[in-house]
Amino acid sequence: MSITLNSDMGEAFGIHTFGNDTALLDYVDTINVACGMHSGDPSTMAHTVTAALDANVTVGAHPGLPDPVGFGRREMMLTADEIRDLIRYQVGALTAFLDAAGAPLHHIKPHGALYGMLSRSEELMESACDVAEQYGVPILGLPHTAHQRVADRRGVEFVAEFYVDLDYNDDGTIIVNRTAAPHDLVHIEAKARRALVDGKTISIHGTEIDVTVESLCIHSDLHNAPDVAARLRTMVDQHAGNT
Cβ partners under 8 Å of residue 229, min gap 6: 5, 7, 23, 24, 26, 27, 28, 218
Where in the sequence is the domain holding 48, given as residue range(s)?
4-242
pLDDT (tens digit per residue) in 197-229: 999 999 999 999 999 999 999 998 888 899 999
DSSP state of 36: S
User: Any idea of the CA torsion for 176, 7, 231, 25, to the nearest 10 degrees?
Assistant: -150
The helix/strand/coil state of 219 is strand
Question: What is the DSSP pairing of strand 208-210 with strand 58-62?
Answer: unpaired
Q: Please give the tally of structural domains in the chain.
A: 1
pTM of the model: 0.94
pLDDT (tens digit per residue) in 131-170: 999 999 999 999 999 999 999 999 999 999 999 988 999 9
pLDDT (tens digit per residue) in 10-63: 998 888 887 889 999 999 999 999 999 999 999 999 999 999 999 999 999 999
Per-residue pLDDT, averaged over 100-106, amounts to 98
Check which CATH number belongs to the domain holding 11 and give it.
3.20.20.370
